[in-house]
Amino acid sequence: MTTGIAQLRSYCERLGISPLVADVYSALRVHGPQTISELARNAGIERIRIYRMLDELRTSGLIEVETAYKRSILQAAPTSNLELLLVKRKQELQNLQQDYLSRRANLEMQDDRSNATSVRFYKGLEGLKQMLWNQTKGTGERLVILRDNIQHKTDSAFFERWVRKCNSRGLSSRGIVNDNFIKTQQEWYATHTNEQVSDWQARYVPDDLFPIPYNQVIYDDIVIHYDWKDDENVFGIEIHSAPIAQMQRQLFELLWQKAFPMDDLKSRGRDC
């Protein structure tokens, strides 16, 4: 098979044309109109097979068959026919894409059922940074119960990137915090001018009403728990489960109703 035939045949197959039709079309493009005997030699296909393929060749849109003097003459159709096939293939791919988009919700529901719950563990400061960064990919409201602010344990550069990403994606957050969080927040911003999360509401809960021994975040169908009071035991747990996230979300709302708005603390003489 010559280089020209091989290249054209390869392109035809990529276009979705059957290999035998591609062989015939390529040979006709390279050698011009031919009888079946000539085509058999040039395309390397048995004559009897070409006879059996005549209907398929006619309907392919690439080959024209003429009968003259009791013999068939085959020739390649105009190049524009190949372009029509290309347009048709493009439309088929667009239809496939639309069909996929219409089925995607059901497919994702099947994924959810097959992976109803998964748990990921993170250790060390770099592991926790990864878990915190995962939050920036969320789509819904973040609900947080915090003992510590993250900038005290992560570096300032990471915190800046994290805040910018949250703000650029328009992520909203509601947080329930305790005395330790307020204290560490005040200490940080007494000496730093970092950008802050823009869409953030917070309420305060005293330790005698609800102690907060570690940090929790709920977003989408994910619940994360992490703690870093002890530098030797920095850990995080990321639970992917719609039912667990829903229950934790309901518990958060109950605690949110019991917690004090920050403005109430200011009116009581507390600096928040």
How far from each other are the two terminal CA atoms of the chain, in whole angstroms?
81
Asked if pLDDT for residue 115 goes beyond 60, the answer is: no
Residues 175 and 259 in one domain: yes
The 10s digit of each residue's pLDDT in 125-138 is 888 889 999 999 99
| Of 24, 52, 77, the domain-final residue | 77
How many Cβ atoms from other residues are within 10 Å of residue 7's Cβ? 12
**CA–CA separation, 62 vs 60, rounded Å?**
5
pLDDT grade, residue 184 (50/70/90)?
confident
Structural domains in the chain (count):
2
Q: Which of 104-113, 139-148, 232-241, 260-269 has the highest mean pLDDT?
A: 139-148
Overall pTM surpassing 0.85 (yes/no) = no
Tell me, what CATH number does 142's domain have? 3.30.870.10
Residues 66 and 140 in one domain: no
Give residues with Cβ within 8 angstroms of 158, minimum separation 6. Answer: 129
pLDDT grade, residue 6 (50/70/90)?
confident
Q: Are 228 and 234 in contact (CB under 8 A)?
A: yes
Domain that holds residue 156: 118-267
DSSP 8-state symbol, 158: H
Q: Are 259 and 205 in contact (CB under 8 A)?
A: yes
The pLDDT of 255-270, averaged and rounded, is: 74
Distance of CA 167 to the CA centre of its chain: 20
Residues 11 and 73 in one domain: yes
pLDDT at 272: 44
Q: Which residues are bridge partners to 174 per DSSP?
A: 143, 201
Q: Are 249 and 261 in contact (CB under 8 A)?
A: no
